[in-house]
């Protein structure tokens, strides 16, 4: 019998992402034991009951001490504290990775803790998820045909990088490497900004005097458009804080373009209005064929 | 055999909305003859071939002359010219209605043409549609469980209002009455503003230097969020022009709220960020359970 890729996997934060990763690796038969850890013991018990993890530890130090791969899948706001609590207890040769939606802040956390970038740390970000959260929402195929971005650093060991790449490939994901800053810029544009717009739109409408009436007539397009406003507020608060600079830059770009469109509408510059919509439709249609 | 509700129906603009209305009324057995009219003869021939209309006229005057109900389902930008061309040729007792997404501009067009609001005109707006257009995209169930808003005026004859209400009810829609200005405000909030945001977002991203890279990492949420940016640019240009005042008001409200969120992110006002997202999620979740 061949050895699995990972003998002992520790998942800190057994939610949608951490739980789905464990499920996928189990289905692939590429993990020996899976140990869970996290703040909520109810969630951890559910994870054992669902067969997502074999057992759990409530103390992060105990959870990581014999693991060969540790995946930190907690909200970005908890990242620094969790890393601080596990780093002193990692086994020799253990590889550490995370799934944070912003990478600059996690790399900075790690650098503060170690005083440098350690070779066994591989920053990662699976671009997958739903508006759901918690281990109950996890499923083995979440990452299939999704992209996982790794942002290895100059200091990152090739073997550590390769193992984490292989781990994600086993889930059915397409793994790509990217620079830390570039990752954060791309995600600010395609994910963080759209979430800000959806949250703000729903909140703007929810504070209108006739909000009940307004929402009654919100039709199909509105439902799709605002789906991401159902995402976890704490998680998105953390992302805003972690990716502040790049997100603010994208909000500024967008706001300037919206102001320009408003000015075109105000001044009845019909050619400019039409040109904007045509460019956008062309870009959207080329992006997806639905 | 009982009489159908409408003996002779004339649809000016046999596209997604006009075509779907004709199909639904035919399936209900509540229409005698359906005459189509519109700019594109290819589209009209397709409408005959698909059984959506019985025959077509290319001259609007001929199309309407013997109809008891005339539905104008052309883009808002063509509305004034079409109304002007048909009004002199309407049969005595004919009822005129439209499907425009903004009602103030259509009512103003009608008032300009007649010099007053005629009793046989019933402004209407079915809140239904897809990103598709044209008669090929039409289907009989488009309006089922959708809302149709009628904005009858003080001058509107009760019988005309009742007939148009009944016509839409036969398509499976829920028909509600609303004031003209109120309709335009509600639609600016729930439909026109979201379209502006989706178009602007895609256009902002499409003009980034690394747009190819950016779009490559646009994940599931982005797809839903930007679906409405695939809508017909000409139709949406027309809506911007027709509902300018109320749309600009909503863009201003939204922009102020987005600026406030950006300021909270910049100044690290975490409580304000979280409160915004939580309010939005609560409103969205109460609106739809998906």
CB contact under 8 A, B219 and A146: yes
Cα A45 → chain centroid: 24
Question: In which band, very low, low, confident or very high, does the pLDDT at A206 lie, cut at 50, 70 and 90?
Answer: very high
Average pLDDT over residues A204-222: 84
Whole-angstrom distance, CA of residue B202 vs CA of residue B125: 27
The answer to whether residue B201 neighbours chain A at the CB level (below 8 Å) is: yes
pLDDT in tens, A177-195: 999 999 999 999 999 999 9
Tokens of B24: 């639904």
Whole-angstrom distance, CA of residue A163 vs CA of residue A165: 5
Whole-angstrom distance, CA of residue A258 vs CA of residue B197: 7
Provide the pLDDT for residue B1: 57
Tokens of B156: 């509107």
Q: What angle do CA B202, B207, B211 make, to 5 degrees?
A: 80
Pairing status of strand A174-177 against strand A31-37: unpaired
Substitution target in B129, B195, B205 with the highest count of A β-carbons within 10 Å is B205
A124: closest CA among A99, A104, A143? Answer: A99
The answer to whether residue B202 neighbours chain A at the CB level (below 8 Å) is: yes
Q: Record the pTM.
A: 0.90
CB contact under 8 A, A206 and B280: yes
- Measured between CA atoms, the residue of chain A closest to residue B283 is A206
Domains and CATH numbers, chain A: 6-178 (3.40.50.720), 183-287 (1.10.3660.10)
Q: ipTM of this predicted complex?
A: 0.89
CB contact under 8 A, B214 and A189: yes
Interface subset of B 113-142, CB within 8 angstroms of A: 127-130
Q: Residue A216's CB: how many other CB atoms inside 10 A?
A: 13
Tokens of B159: 């019988």
CB contact under 8 A, A228 and B231: no
Residues on chain B touching A241 (C-beta within 8 angstroms): 265, 268, 270, 273
pLDDT in tens, A56-83: 999 999 999 999 999 999 999 999 999 9
Question: In which band, very low, low, confident or very high, does the pLDDT at A252 lie, cut at 50, 70 and 90?
Answer: very high
Indicate the helix (H) or strand (E) that contains B84: helix B76-86
The answer to whether residue A166 neighbours chain B at the CB level (below 8 Å) is: no
Substitution target in B190, B251, B253 with the highest count of A β-carbons within 10 Å is B190
Whole-angstrom distance, CA of residue B269 vs CA of residue B263: 8
pLDDT in tens, B109-140: 999 999 999 999 999 999 987 767 889 999 99
Longest dimension (CA), chain A: 74
Substitution target in A76, A146, A221, A270 with the highest count of B β-carbons within 10 Å is A221
3-state secondary structure (DSSP) of residue A101: coil
The answer to whether residue A272 neighbours chain B at the CB level (below 8 Å) is: no
pLDDT in tens, A98-137: 999 999 999 999 999 999 999 999 999 999 877 678 899 9
Whole-angstrom distance, CA of residue A257 vs CA of residue A262: 9
Provide the pLDDT for residue B289: 60
Whole-angstrom distance, CA of residue B35 vs CA of residue B219: 45
Alpha helices in A9-137 (DSSP H): 16-27, 41-49, 60-64, 76-86, 104-114
Instruction: Among A149, A232, A274, select the one facing B237 at the smallest CB separation.
Output: A274
**Burial annotation A143-172 (CB, 10 A radius, 16+ → b, else e):** beebbbbbbbbeebeeebbebbbebbebbb
């Amino acid at each position: 019998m061949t050895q699995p890729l990972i003998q002992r996997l520790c998942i800190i934060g057994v939610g949608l992402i951490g739980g789905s990763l464990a499920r996928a690796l189990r289905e692939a038969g590429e993990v020996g034991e899976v140990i869970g850890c996290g703040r909520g013991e109810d969630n951890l018990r559910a994870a054992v009951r669902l067969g997502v993890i074999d057992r759990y530890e409530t103390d992060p130090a105990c959870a990581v001490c014999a693991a060969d791969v540790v995946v930190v899948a907690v909200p970005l706001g908890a990242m620094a504290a969790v890393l601080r609590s596990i780093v002193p207890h990692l086994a020799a040769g253990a590889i550490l990775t995370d799934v944070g939606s912003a990478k600059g802040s996690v790399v900075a956390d790690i650098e503060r803790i170690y005083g440098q970038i350690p070779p066994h740390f591989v920053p990662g970000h699976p671009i997958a998820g739903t508006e759901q959260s918690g281990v109950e929402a996890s499923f083995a195929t979440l990452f299939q045909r999704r992209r996982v971005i790794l942002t290895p650093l100059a200091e990152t060991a090739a073997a550590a990088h390769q193992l984490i790449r292989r781990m994600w490939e086993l889930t059915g994901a397409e793994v790509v490497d990217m620079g830390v800053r570039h990752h954060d810029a791309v995600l600010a544009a395609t994910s963080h900004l759209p979430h800000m717009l959806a949250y703000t739109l729903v909140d703007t409408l929810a504070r209108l005097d006739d909000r009940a009436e307004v929402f009654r007539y919100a039709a199909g397009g509105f439902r799709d458009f605002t789906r991401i406003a159902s995402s976890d507020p704490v998680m998105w608060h953390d992302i805003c804080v972690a990716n502040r600079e790049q997100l603010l830059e994208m909000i500024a770009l967008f706001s300037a373009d919206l102001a320009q469109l408003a000015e075109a509408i105000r001044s009845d510059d019909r050619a400019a209005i039409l040109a904007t919509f045509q460019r956008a439709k062309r870009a959207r249609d080329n992006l997806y064929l639905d």
